[in-house]
């Protein structure tokens, strides 16, 4: 039915589930998948991709959410002459019920390759491969029948993602799912009709473990933390010790701030020195928990490599409480967009923008007071740009 796929067949071997088998299964019945398989085999043979560069596609009313793709050899692989992807904004925390997923599958069976990523690297459901013609009806059905909407692409806010948070994690310091959903709904227009200098990502992690990698994978990470003291259940501590767990080696000695002490089976934490790294809590989940005065640290500027190099986000707001409707966050985002929108160069991520103009000037532009929490350390050079001086006659 399909040509020989000697190279790809090799990738059906071995214990890990095979994407090739996934494609093959569809290739039996779906011409798009069939030619994807054939073209991919060709790529494997020639060590080279067979896609043409770029191509803008979309649906009515939206300026984002779909990535156009065309085969470089439509003559050989007509099934993938057009092979666009549709990005569906995932629900908070990637939670689904089977009804919803089945609806989505049925629609994608009708209009697309039957292949998808669960999920794309930004968090979307990525429906892999359909024709230009099918985009609009496919989207219409996804939206009206299955209640899905598009995710982001282009120079706008992208699909927000978050960790499982309070839904199943005992360490969530704020409601990551709700913040994600609320902000997503608030910023729909900017997501679907992008008009920022470059992409803008928000990711929400419930605690410093940062299970969605917000600090490096997003422009505006919201990372849960607490301001008071770690909650200790001394009985549970004793149980760990009695169970033979070496608390000193694995917890106390690994505490980066060395702020823990074990005295006669009482575990003490000097919380003023604790840097909220989570390690002790991670290792002793039954005995320790984040404090009660919970909220988040908001950071800014994370991104990967291009053009100015990978940037790990840095602290913008050391601590903020997060309660609906999360107005401070929304105001903050709008302020950033205004300022960055006005002064950024084209295709300059907010992190690059800050590195160019300097965090000090960025704060000033945003009307945020400088704070030593924002820096690892103060400057190490004397080139202070004092802003005023007296002239003769002043």
Partner 1 sequence: MEASPKARKLDIGPPDYRQFLHPVVKENYGQWKYHENLRPGVLVHVSETGAEIYTVRAGSPRLVNIDFVRRICDLADRYADGFLRFTSRNNIEFMLPNKENIDPLIAELEGMGIPVGGTGKIIHNMLHSQGWIHCHTPASADASGITKSVMDELYEYFTAKELPHRVKIAFACCTACCGGIFWSDIAILALHRRPPRVNHDYVWRVCEIPTTLASCPVTAIKPTYVDGKTSVTIDEDKCVYCGNCYSICSACEIIDPVNDVLSIWAGGKLANARSEPMLAKLVVPSLPSNPPRWPEVVSAVKNIVEVYAQNARKYERLGEWINRIGWPRFFELTGFEFTKYHIDDFKHAGQTYKKSVQLKF
Binding site for its own copies (CB under 8 A): 305, 309-310, 380-382
For ligand SF4, the binding residue among 189, 275, 327, 371 (CB under 6 A) is 275
Phi, psi dihedral angles at 289 (to 5 degrees) = -145, 155
Q: What is the DSSP string of 133-173?
A: HHHHHHHHHHHHTT---B---SSSBPPPEE-SGGGT-TT-S
Record the tokens describing residue 123, joined without a space.
Answer: 């968090």
Label residue 121 exposed, middle or buried (CB < 10 Å: 0-12, 13-18, 19+): exposed
Per CB under 8 A, the list member of 77, 79, 129, 154 interacting with partner 1 is 129
Which of 34, 35, 66, 85 lies at the binding interface for partner 1 (CB under 8 A)?
A: 85
Separation between Cα atoms, residue 212 and residue 178, nearest integer Å? 15
> Where in 312-351 is the site for ligand SRM (CB under 6 A)?
349
Instruction: Write down the least CB distance from residue 204 to ligand SRM, Å.
Output: 10
> Binding residue for ligand SF4 (CB under 6 A) from 257, 310, 327, 371?
257
Out of 32, 66, 115, 332, the residue judged to bind partner 1 by CB under 8 A = 115
**Is residue 322 a contact residue for ligand SF4 (CB under 6 A)?**
no
Regarding 38 and contact with ligand SRM (CB under 6 A), the answer is no
Q: Where are the alpha helices (DSSP H) in 285-367?
A: 327-343, 350-357, 359-366
Q: Which of 32, 34, 64, 67: binder of partner 1 (CB under 8 A)?
A: 67
* Sequence-ordered list of residues with C-beta below 8 angstroms from that of 146, at least 6 positions apart, any chain: 100, 103, 104, 107
Q: What span, in angstroms and rounded, lies between the C-alpha atoms of 274 and 258? A: 8
Distance CA 222, CA 219 (A): 10
Cβ closest to ligand SRM, residue 259 vs residue 368 = 259
List interacting residues with ligand SRM (CB under 6 A). 67, 69, 85, 87, 93, 117, 119-124, 126, 151, 159, 163-164, 169-171, 199, 201, 209-211, 213, 217, 282, 303-306, 349
Binding site for ligand SF4 (CB under 6 A): 163-165, 169, 171-172, 205-207, 209-211, 255-257, 259-260, 269, 274-281
């Amino acid at each position: 039915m399909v040509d020989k796929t000697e190279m790809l067949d090799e990738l059906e071997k071995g214990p890990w589930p095979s994407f090739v088998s996934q494609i093959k299964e569809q290739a039996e019945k779906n011409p798009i998948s069939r030619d994807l398989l054939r073209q991919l085999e060709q790529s494997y043979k020639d060590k080279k991709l067979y896609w043409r560069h770029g191509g803008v596609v979309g649906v009515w009313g939206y300026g984002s959410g779909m990535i156009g793709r065309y085969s470089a050899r439509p003559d050989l692989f007509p099934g993938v002459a057009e092979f666009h992807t549709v990005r569906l904004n995932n629900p908070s925390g990637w939670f689904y019920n089977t009804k919803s997923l089945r609806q989505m599958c049925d629609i994608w069976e009708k209009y697309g390759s039957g292949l998808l990523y669960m999920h794309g690297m930004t968090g979307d459901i990525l429906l892999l491969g359909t024709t230009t013609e099918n985009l609009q009806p496919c989207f219409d059905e996804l939206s009206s029948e299955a209640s899905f909407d598009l995710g982001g692409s282009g120079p706008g806010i992208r699909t927000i993602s978050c960790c499982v948070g309070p839904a199943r994690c005992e360490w969530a310091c704020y409601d990551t799912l709700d913040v994600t959903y609320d902000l997503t709904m608030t910023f729909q227009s900017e997501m679907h009709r992008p008009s920022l200098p470059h992409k803008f990502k928000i990711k929400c992690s419930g605690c410093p473990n940062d299970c969605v990698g917000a600090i490096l994978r997003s422009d505006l990470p919201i990372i849960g933390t607490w301001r008071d003291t770690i909650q200790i259940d001394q009985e549970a501590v004793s149980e760990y010790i009695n169970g033979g767990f070496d608390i000193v080696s694995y917890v106390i000695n690994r505490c980066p701030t060395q702020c823990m002490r074990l005295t006669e089976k009482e575990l003490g934490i000097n919380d003023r020195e604790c840097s909220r790294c989570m390690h002790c809590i991670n290792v002793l989940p039954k005995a320790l928990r984040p404090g009660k005065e919970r909220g988040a640290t908001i950071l800014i500027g994370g991104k990967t490599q291009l053009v100015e190099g990978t940037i790990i986000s840095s602290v913008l707001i050391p601590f903020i409480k997060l309660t609906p409707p999360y107005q401070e966050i929304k105001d903050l985002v709008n302020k950033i967009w205004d300022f960055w929108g006005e002064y950024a160069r084209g295709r300059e991520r907010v992190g690059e923008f800050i590195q160019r103009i300097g965090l000090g000037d960025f704060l000033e532009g945003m009307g945020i007071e400088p704070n030593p929490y924002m820096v690892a350390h103060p400057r190490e050079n004397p080139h202070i740009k004092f802003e005023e001086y007296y002239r003769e006659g002043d």
